[in-house]
Structure 1
């Protein structure tokens, strides 16, 4: 099993797609990359902790290649906007990839290079060593599955799921 820690705006969006991805065994919403030793949703949303909203995606490489997980990441958010994804604005929504090993760092850098050709503007995704990962509150775990009728899910997440189904249907189990 391999785990990537990725931030691409609100963690609910990435969580919703990766939860439906074949070969993914776990998706945990959380916070990382900041200085506050006790982050919570409200402090992270204030933009003062330095943390990003992220997901820890654990997957079986014998079922789904790491490159597919990473290419999906770049398809599911706009990696060319600094500290912003749609209406979500602030450093907590930055495009980010947090590595634990040199191998992961190389995979992340290769994914940026590979996906740059799909974007007119430069990719600004931050690639950093993973500091401590803080699990987000239970309310945020598997949010879309628990609240599919909620407005944010309907307006923001459903289009991302539709895009994932269009380009990654071979890997989605729903």
Structure 2
């Protein structure tokens, strides 16, 4: 199993897509990249903790290649906007990839270079060493699957799922 820690705006969006992806064993929403230990969602939302909303995506590379997981990341959010995704604004919503090893860092940087062709503006995705990850509160885990009728899911997440499905339908569960 391989685990990537990725942030691309609200973690609910990344969670929704990766939960539907073949070969993904688990998706855990959390916070990392800041200095405050054991932050709460309310503290994260202040933008003062330095943490980003992230997902830890654990997947089986014998089912889905790492490059596909990473390329899906660049389709489902706008990696050219600094510290924002749509209406979500602040450093907690930055586009970021956290690596554990030099090999993983190289893989992430290669994914950025490969996906730059999809965007007219430069990709501003941060690539940083992984520190401590704090698991988000229970109600954030698998948010979309538990509440698909919520307005945020309908207006923000559904279009992202549709965009990923357009490009990666073969990798998504029916």
Relative to the length of structure 2, the TM-score reads 0.99
Secondary structure of the residue aligned to 2:118 is coil
After the TM superposition, list the runs of 4 or more consecutive aligned residues in structure 1 that deviate by more than 3 angstroms.
Answer: none
User: Deviation digits for residues 124-150 of structure 1, max 9, x if unmatched?
Assistant: 000000000110000000000000000
Q: Where do 1:14-93 residues align within 5 Å?
A: 14-93=14-93
Partner of 1:115: 115
Q: Distance in 1 between matches of 2:8 and 2:143?
A: 16
Consecutive unaligned residues in structure 2, runs of 5 or more: none
Secondary structure of the residue aligned to 1:148 is coil
Q: Distance in 2 between matches of 1:144 and 1:137?
A: 14
Shift of 1:165: 1.0
Q: Distance in 2 between matches of 1:123 and 1:164?
A: 18
Shift of 1:10: 0.2
Consecutive unaligned residues in structure 1, runs of 5 or more: none
Shift of 1:57: 0.2
Partner of 1:8: 8
Q: Distance in 2 between matches of 1:158 and 1:20?
A: 12
Secondary structure of the residue aligned to 1:37 is coil
Shift of 1:76: 0.3
Partner of 1:169: 169
Q: Distance in 1 between matches of 2:6 and 2:52?
A: 9
Cα RMSD of the aligned pairs, angstroms, is 0.4
Q: Distance in 2 between matches of 1:173 and 1:18?
A: 10
Secondary structure of the residue aligned to 2:170 is coil
User: Deviation digits for residues 28-77 of structure 1, max 9, x if unmatched?
Assistant: 00000000012110000100000000000000000000000000000000
